[in-house]
Amino acid sequence: MKRLVILSGAGMSAESGIRTFRDMNGLWEEYDVMEVASIQAWHKNPELLLRFYNDRRIQMMASHPNQGHLLLAELEKSFDVRIITQNVDDLHERAGSRSVLHLHGELTKARSTKDPSLVYLLKNPEMKIGDLCEKGSQLRPHIVWFGEEVTEMENAIELTQTADILCVIGTSLNVYPAAGLINYAPRHIPVFLIDPNPPAHLPGRIQVIPEKAGKGVAILIERLKDVAE
Ligand code: APR
């Protein structure tokens, strides 16, 4: 089976009702990203960050995978699909995708502030000051904040280098190092990008499908019909 690597961003979950970041009325229009999604903000006002991520976690739980997520899970019948996502929601997993690498963390998890190897699946969606890890230190959202290392980047690069086909879905390619992943795709492979408002200045080799994720993945499946084996 050919390996289809997907790089997804917030646009992947837009049709599930989860706001993107840099679109019109995106999340960063309402909040100052450095006030709610940076390690400095966590040290300054942890309660604010816990509330911000509680709200996003509750919204995620009220959302459902959209057609784009479901079709990607369906594609596992014909391709070795590996998803690398910048999203912190669990919609790819809930749609049935079995290989999902989260570059920027996961809303469903919390981790120790003393020992980052201690990661817990959250039972209660509302985190608060006083929720402690087994070593007695405050729990924090298992999210990669601005100013922090993207620890999964090496794994994502290795995975991208093994792709037979790459498809970028729903990301403005604004945030590095994630945005740089497309440069690690083997030179000879087909690269697709699904986005109703595709980023400008894309490399000429990228085949743009200017649609929302749901319709875009359906078009991708048609395009891939002649490469599946
Ligand atoms: N289907 C597909 N793409 C869509 C849709 C849709 N229904 N709606 C919007 N888009 C596209 C937009 O045109 C845009 O190019 O999704 C992209 C969303 O871009 P951003 O809001 O910048 O989100 P993303 O690229 O995922 O941000 C990267 O930045 O704030 C940080 O950590 C955060 O992971 C995030 C990172």
User: What is the DSSP code string of 62-117?
Assistant: T----HHHHHHHHGGGTSEEEEEES--SSHHHHHT-S-EEESSEEEEEEEESS-TT
Q: What is the CATH topology of the domain spanning 1-17+65-104+149-229?
A: Rossmann fold (3.40.50)
Q: What is the mean pLDDT of residues 88-97?
A: 98
Q: What is the mean pLDDT of residues 94-115?
A: 98
> In the chain, which segments carry CATH 3.40.50.1220?
1-17+65-104+149-229
Cβ–ligand 1 distance for 212 under 6 Å, the answer yes
Least confident of 1-10, 18-27, 59-68: 18-27
To the question of domain 19-62+110-143 being in CATH 3.30.720.210, the answer is no
pTM higher than 0.75, yes or no?
A: yes
Whether 229 shows a pLDDT value over 70: the answer reads: no
Ligand 1 centre distance from Cα of residue 199 (Å)? 10
Q: What is the mean pLDDT of residues 72-77?
A: 98
- Ligand 1 pocket mutation, candidates 7, 144, 171, 173, criterion most atoms within 8 A of CB: 171
Ligand 1 centre distance from Cα of residue 132 (Å)? 33
CA-9 nearest atom, ligand 1: 26
Q: What is the mean pLDDT of residues 102-128?
A: 97
> In the chain, which segments carry CATH 3.30.1600.10?
19-62+110-143
- Concatenate the DSSP letters of all residues of 132-193 into one string: B-TTS-BEEEEE--BTS--TTHHHHHHHHHT-SEEEEES----STTGGGGGGGS-TTS-EEE
pLDDT of the residue at 228: 64
Q: What is the mean pLDDT of residues 37-47?
A: 97
Cβ-contact 159, 84 below 8 angstroms: yes
